[in-house]
Structure 1
Amino acid sequence: LDAILVPGGFGKRGTEGKMAAIRYARENGVPYLGICLGMQLAVIEFARNVVHLEGANSTEFDPSTPHPVVALITEWQDREGQIERRDQASDLGGTMRKGAQRCPVKEGTNAHAIYGAEVYERHRHRYEVNNAYVPRLEEGGMVISARTPTEQLPEIMELPGHPWFMGVQFHPEFTSTPRDGHPLFTSFITAALKHQELRRRQVSA
Structure 2
Amino acid sequence: MKRIAIIGDYNPNEESHCRIFDSIKDISEELEIELEVQWIMSDELDKSAEQLKTFDGFWFSPGSPYMNTPNVLTAIQFARENGVPSLGTCAGFQHMVIEFARNVLGMYGADSEENNEECPDAVIARLPCSLVYKKEQLKISDPDSIMARALGVDGFIGEYRCNYGFNEAYHSAFLNSNMIAAIAQNEDGYIRGFEVKRLPFFVGTLFIPQLDFKGDGSYRIIRSYLSAVLFGCNVEIP
TM-score range, shorter chain: 0.7 to 0.9
| Cα separation, 2, equivalents of 1:144 and 1:29 | 17
The structure with more radius of gyration = 1
CA contact (8 A) 1:144 1:154 kept: no
| Cα separation, 2, equivalents of 1:177 and 1:111 | 18
Unaligned runs of 5+ in 2: 1-54, 234-238
Query: Does 1:70 find its partner at 2:107?
Result: no
- Secondary structure at the aligned position of 1:124 is classed as coil
Query: Does 1:100 find its partner at 2:135?
Result: yes
Name the amino acid aligned to 1:41: H
| Cα separation, 1, equivalents of 2:231 and 2:181 | 23
CA contact (8 A) 1:6 1:37 kept: yes
Correspondences of 1:16-95 after superposition (within 5 Å): 16-74=70-128, 76=129, 95=130
Query: Does 1:9 find its partner at 2:46?
Result: no
1:146 alignment counterpart? 184
| Cα separation, 1, equivalents of 2:218 and 2:114 | 32
Q: What TM-score, normalized by structure 1, do the two folds share?
A: 0.79
1:80 alignment counterpart? none
2:146 alignment counterpart? 110
Distance 1:181 1:138, change over 3 A: closer
Name the amino acid aligned to 2:198: G
1:199 alignment counterpart? none
Query: After the TM superposition, which of the residue ranges 26-35 and 8-17 deviates more from structure 2?
Result: 8-17
Name the amino acid aligned to 2:171: V
Kindly indicate whether structure 1 or structure 2 has the higher relative contact order, using CA contacts under 8 Å at least 6 residues apart.
1
Correspondences of 1:156-175 after superposition (within 5 Å): 156-175=193-212
Identify the match of residue 187 of structure 1 among 224, 231, 235.
Answer: 224
| Cα separation, 2, equivalents of 1:72 and 1:144 | 23
How big is each residue's C-alpha offset from its partner over 1:166-204, in whole Å with a ceiling of 9 and x where there is no partner? 0111111112249x99311111111001139xxxxxxxx
CA contact (8 A) 1:144 1:155 kept: no
Where does structure 1 differ by over 4 angstroms across 4 or more consecutive aligned residues? Answer: none
**Aligned-pair Cα RMSD in Å:** 2.1
- Secondary structure at the aligned position of 2:100 is classed as helix
| Cα separation, 1, equivalents of 2:199 and 2:96 | 13
Same amino acid, percent of matched pairs: 27
CA contact (8 A) 2:209 2:218 kept: no
- Secondary structure at the aligned position of 2:65 is classed as coil
2:13 alignment counterpart? none
Query: After the TM superposition, which of the residue ranges 48-57 and 3-12 deviates more from structure 2?
Result: 3-12
Shift of residue 121, structure 1, vs aligned partner: 2.1
Shift of residue 157, structure 1, vs aligned partner: 0.3
Distance 1:49 1:190, change over 3 A: same
- Secondary structure at the aligned position of 2:226 is classed as helix
| Cα separation, 2, equivalents of 1:131 and 1:3 | 29
